[in-house]
Structure 1
Amino acid sequence: MSQISNAIATRDSGPAAQIETYRSEYAALVPSHVNADQWIRLAVGAIRGNKDLEQAAANDVGVFLRELKTAARLGLEPGTEQFYLTPRKKGGRKVIQGIVGYQGIVELIYRAGAASTVIVESVRANDTFRYVPGRDDRPVHEIDWFGPDRGPLVGVYAYAVMKDGAVSKVVVLNRQRVMEIKAKSDSKNSEYSPWNTNEESMWLKSCVRQLAKWVPTSAEYMREQLRAQAEVSGELPAPPPMPQPVNGLDEADPDDEGPIDAEFVDEEAGR
């Protein structure tokens, strides 16, 4: 019986149990449209279902919980293509790194309420792709869905149709441009990086991040940021503090080129 009790105690002190410990804080952080209980179940399931992630999270629980706070404030699902949880070596050991996926950025665009449709597509060598800036309001992309092979990736494109019917700037990236973005990624050489485990998704993310410079992202996320600042200033009661990271990590997404938490992430885009 004592061995069983010890096993339960060990299990309950792990990263998944820490999520439960701070359940109320995460519930307060997620946007109002997100089901907090479901979000927490996803976070717990992502860790308990992957031994590598569980060990990396246990190596520095403070880093792990901080990454989850980012996902919570953004209202993105941890452990999915909205918000990847990946092991990353830091100081000779693996810790958890959160990376916003392309589906997460698309979700933020939709959540802002200005766009009715967001198109993000990859183009392969055997597809037909036509787009002339200044002449065409959007690309023409034809795919032979029943052909034997679409060929290798050659590019990606993204645009949004706004609720008033207008079409946003169309972003088109070729392979060279995507590779330039990949070269800036801190995690590009990691076996766990989405660049190596889900390359096409990272091509799509590279493109939709550029689109996010031209369309609104989440207004509610900005309100959550202001709320967090108010908590720090003492205007609102703050929940109990989470454990702090042992080793500091850059809070920016290592596969990003800038923030995603603004109404317009590029000042020039709003001019």
Structure 2
Amino acid sequence: MSLSTLKDRVRAATTDQPATDATVSGLADDAKGTTPEQLHTSAQAEGDDVADQALVWLEQYGNDFTRALPSHIDVKAFLSAVRAALPGLVHCTPASLRQALLTCARFGLVPDGRHAVIKREGKTAVFVPMAQGYVELMYRSGRVGSVHVGMIHEADEWNYEPSAPAPLDFTHKPAVTLSKKDRGPVILAYAFAWLESGARSQVIVLSREDAEEIRDEYSSAYRRAKESGADDSFWHTDFTKMWAKSALRRLHKVVPMSAEMIALLKADDAGDAGEVQVVHAPAEEVHLQAEEMHLQAETDEAHERAEESQDPQEVRTRPLPRKRSQPRRTTRKGRKGARR
């Protein structure tokens, strides 16, 4: 029997009857009749089989990933990249792992460490877009011809004169003939874009001090890691990449951005703040996450409000627009008469 809806597939996956239209192979044959949560728990204790067992669980939702991914990304390639990251994610809750991966898929980014990363914070899996992911979405807007992001080392030749006309206002000549040690430490990060129209955007230049101020003021993940003593946020483990990513993020203020890019910024901020990342989720899936997977209470309330606003009974119980608008029209006429 074909399971046509997400609700049917989840219901089948959490009962003794396996989903007949799921992609099942290899270890999945041994997992028939097992709930996703049981698969997830057993994977944590099986050493070398961790990634394969977790992938079996995810393959039950293969249709959902296919539906979420853009046409140019194959679901098998996406899940192949996911598998490499799974050993570090098996202690995450199943709901958060699935949500993080679906969010990553909806943006058409592969969690390969360059475009995006799925990071574990406690028992929560978090989708984190990386610098190359931002560049990818800028190109997709159709208004950006090329994006340049770079790091200036102490021994490099560079000039920044904002009052000069582009492209003379900024130049960077890396000292590529020198060793990394001789080039010295990174002193600046920069980013700019050439538009399809031929114009060039403003150059975003961030010093190390600028990056540290952004980190301290805006990164909740950094503060949580610092307070806990774990020091495992990306700002702790890969400061230079976060420095470059910050320069790219600031481009959205000076470069035409698509709705998809704005959504990516919001999802990135939500993940950093420890909030659930739900991006363009189908109404049915959001309902299931709230009712079946027990996501955070505040997210459940938001989903309920969204569903209530679309409930036909709710619409019928509200005052009719005609009844509300009559006094307003009378008032406006009265005001016009008074002015005359």
TM over 0.5, shorter chain: yes
1:81 aligns with 2:117: no
Q: CA deviation at 1:222?
A: 8.3
Q: What is the match of residue 13 of structure 1?
A: 39
Q: Deviations over 1:79-137 (max 9, x none)?
A: 42211122213xxxx32222111111011101111111100001122222211113142
Q: CA RMSD in A?
A: 3.2
Please list every run of 5 or more consecutive structure 1 residues that lacks an aligned counterpart in the other structure.
Answer: 251-271
SS in 2 for 1:200: helix
Q: 1:248 to 1:240 in 2, by over 3 A?
A: closer
1:122 aligns with 2:158: no
User: C-alpha distance in 2, partners of 1:240/1:34?
Assistant: 27
Residue 211 of structure 1 aligns with an amino acid whose one-letter code is: L
TM-score normalised by structure 1 residue count: 0.73
Contact 1:121 1:158 in 2 (8 A): yes
Please list every run of 5 or more consecutive structure 2 residues that lacks an aligned counterpart in the other structure.
Answer: 1-26, 41-53, 264-278, 300-340
User: C-alpha distance in 2, partners of 1:61/1:103?
Assistant: 27
Which residue of 135, 145, 155 maps to 2:176?
145
Q: What is the match of residue 244 of structure 1?
A: 293
Which residue of 206, 213, 219 maps to 1:185?
219
User: C-alpha distance in 2, partners of 1:28/1:216?
Assistant: 28
Q: What is the match of residue 18 of structure 2?
A: none
SS in 2 for 1:169: coil
1:162 aligns with 2:188: no
Q: 1:74 to 1:38 in 2, by over 3 A?
A: same
**Kindly, what percent of the aligned residue pairs are identical?**
28
**Larger-gyration structure (1/2):** 2
Q: CA deviation at 1:41?
A: 2.0
Q: CA deviation at 1:23?
A: 1.1
Residue 54 of structure 1 aligns with an amino acid whose one-letter code is: V
Contact 1:25 1:239 in 2 (8 A): no
Q: CA deviation at 1:20?
A: 0.9
SS in 1 for 2:90: helix
Which residue of 40, 63, 73 maps to 1:24?
63
Q: What is the match of residue 258 of structure 1?
A: none
Q: CA deviation at 1:239?
A: 10
TM-score normalised by structure 2 residue count: 0.59
Q: Deviations over 1:164-222 (max 9, x none)?
A: 21101211111111001111312223544222332221111000000123224455678
Q: Which has the higher helix share?
A: 2
Q: CA deviation at 1:74?
A: 0.9
How many pairs are equivalent?
A: 229
